[in-house]
Amino acid sequence: MPDPNVVIRNLLVDNWDVSATSITSAPVCHTGWYDRDGDMPCLTVTNTDEGPYQSGATGFTGLDGQTGKGMQRLSGYALVNCVAGTRDDCQGLTSGGGDINPKKLRNELYEQASQILLDESPPEFYTLGPGDARDLVDTDEGPAVFRTEVRAMWLRDRTPTQ
């Protein structure tokens, strides 16, 4: 199984619809945290958390049909940050070079990312979808950075190799 963060990043990049937002190009998308000095707007995928789903004391959720060995259904999530950036980052991003309010842009990024997570299910996951989200304003190191953080939640199977 490839890194779930990379699977989700690739899913977002491959399915991004520029026409679904007010900006003229797709945001930069990468794994790891955003950098205030990096490209904005951006999407980041990070902080994976995963474990056996309703597995009881053994950690196994069933038997693999091909090998007869124990398998696990894993429940997990990664944080997808939809980062509009600062007010300065949002200048000149619309068609015709107009400015966009960073609160509006973070919502558009969040809505598009959530739609992709809902519509597209890569073969690496049994299920994938958007979960809880929260709007955040980071002011600790300079001008306010506006972002929405959403959990990309999945189920996947870990099966024996032989």
- Write down the pLDDT at residue 69: 81
160 pLDDT band, cuts 50/70/90, is: confident
Predicted confidence (pLDDT) per residue in 69-108, tens digit: 888 889 999 999 999 999 999 999 998 899 999 999 999 9
**Pairing state of beta strands 145-158 and 127-138?**
antiparallel
Give how far Cα 117 sits from Cα of 5, 9, 30, 94, 111, Å: 13, 10, 16, 25, 10
Q: Is pLDDT above 90 for 145?
A: yes
Residue 158 in this model has a pLDDT that exceeds 70: yes
- Residue 65 or 134, more confident: 134
Pick 109 or 73 by higher pLDDT.
109
Q: What is the pLDDT of residues 15-70, one digit of tens each?
A: 999 999 999 999 999 999 999 999 999 999 999 999 888 876 777 878 877 888 88
Helices (H), the chain: 4-15, 102-119
**pLDDT of 155:** 94
2: phi then psi, degrees, rounded to nearest 5: -65, 165
Rounded distance between C-alpha atoms, residue 85 and residue 37, angstroms: 10
Kindly compute the dihedral angle of the four CA atoms of residues 12, 107, 139, 100, in this order, to the nearest 10 degrees: 100
Residue 162: pLDDT band with limits 50, 70, 90: low
